[in-house]
Structure 1
Amino acid sequence: MKLQVAIDLLSTADALALLHKVADHVDIIELGTPLIKQQGLSVVTNVKAAYPDKLVFADMKTMDAGELEAELAFKAGADIMTVLASAADSTIAGAVKAGKAHGKHVVADMIGVADKTTRLKELKALGVSWVELHAGLDEQAQAGYSIESLLEAGRNADVAFSVAGGINTERIGAVEAAGATIAVAGAAIYAAKDPAEAAKTLRARIEKHG
């Protein structure tokens, strides 16, 4: 299982400062939607230039103009971009078309999708590289939130998937056991007192369970 760091900071300088500490311990660098909205796609270009050997993930959360927005992300240097699973099939197909043209990955973000089972089957047919089973920050803040609903969807999925939603050292073993190919950690790394140690510990937990 790969480890992806989701960076929800708001400046390129802060993102690069964090990556200086944690990049050695992660496989995929995700530039969060707020960061891209604040800095523009230049943050993707700058991070890819600084870490050419890492996969750079632009969390575009595209809802329309799939082919165009995927083109923008890939031309900026992204290896991976996201389209919302709740978008129209034509939007997702457009993004996938751009991904194939560039030899890059398009991921469908399942945030807010209620009927996960049905949509997962449809997304597989649309040709996305994988799906991200994702509970957003607002959902995680709700009373009674549990990552178990994401893991259950993953265990029953017939498509490659990542998991994002409050992953930490206590939960990452269950994510791997559910069959995820990627664990996405955000605040557990970037908000940690020692981000490097946090990333290193998450990596060690993956290797222990792998």
Structure 2
Amino acid sequence: MRLQVAMDVLDLPSALTLAGQVAEYVDVLELGTPLVKSAGISAVSAVKAAHPDKLVFADLKTADAGELEAGLAFEAGADLVTVMGVADDDTIRGAVAAGAKYGKSVVADMIAVTEGRVGRIREVAKLGVSFVEIHAGLDEQARPDYTIEKLLDDGREAGVPFSIAGGVGPDTIGAVRQAGATVAVAGSAIYNAPDPAEAASQLRKRANT
């Protein structure tokens, strides 16, 4: 299982600092949507230049013009981009077409899909995405009844390659691995830690055991 850090920071210097701290322990460096919006697509190029040996994930959350937006990210150096699972099927197909053109990967982000999620996961998997990110956003995680278990249950039931984002931390990453996830996405568990490098190191150890 790969470990992905979601760099939900708002400026490029902070992203480069965080990436430098944790790159040794993670496989994928994700530029969170706020970072891409704040710093621009050139931030993708900067992170890739600093860490050419890592997969760089541009979390665009594309909802329209899939081929155009994915192409912009791939040209900037992204290895993976996200398209919204709630988007029109043709938007997803367009992003996948851009991925085929550049030899890169597209991930369908299932944020905001709650009803019928397993069915939609299976549908988008057939559209050619590399895997599906079963994702609970920050607003959903803030609800008192939130639990990562629903994400894991849906991943197991869907039966397609998936990642998990939303509450991945030291106490849950083992369950994410056991559920069969391709990628575990950790955000605040790393970037809000007093020592992000140590936090990433511990998550890596727990992901492998």
TM-score if structure 1 supplies the norm length? Answer: 0.98
Structure 1 unaligned segments of length 5 or more: list them. Answer: none
Determine the structure 2 residue equivalent to 1:206: 207
Determine the structure 1 residue equivalent to 2:106: 106
- State the distance in 2 between where 1:177 and 1:188 align: 19
Determine the structure 1 residue equivalent to 2:188: 187
Determine the structure 1 residue equivalent to 2:80: 80
CA RMSD of aligned residues (A): 0.6
- State the distance in 1 between where 2:121 and 2:81 align: 18
Determine the structure 2 residue equivalent to 1:127: 128
SS at match of 1:163: strand
CA deviations over 1:126-157 (Å, ceiling 9, x no partner): 01100000000000001110001100000112
Shift of 1:52: 0.3
Determine the structure 2 residue equivalent to 1:39: 39
- State the distance in 1 between where 2:44 and 2:142 align: 28
Shift of 1:164: 0.2
- State the distance in 1 between where 2:197 and 2:75 align: 30
State whether residues 85 and 109 of structure 2, in contact with CA within 8 Å, keep that contact through their aligned partners in structure 1.
yes
Shift of 1:158: 2.2
TM-score if structure 2 supplies the norm length? Answer: 0.98
- Matched to 2:90, the amino acid is S
Determine the structure 1 residue equivalent to 2:117: 116
Determine the structure 1 residue equivalent to 2:139: 138
Determine the structure 1 residue equivalent to 2:30: 30
- Matched to 2:193, the amino acid is A
Q: Among the aligned pairs, what percent are the same residue?
A: 61
Aligned residues: 208
- State the distance in 1 between where 2:184 and 2:133 align: 10
Determine the structure 2 residue equivalent to 1:92: 92
SS at match of 2:167: coil
Shift of 1:118: 1.2
State whether residues 119 and 158 of structure 2, in contact with CA within 8 Å, keep that contact through their aligned partners in structure 1.
no
- State the distance in 2 between where 1:17 and 1:120 align: 34
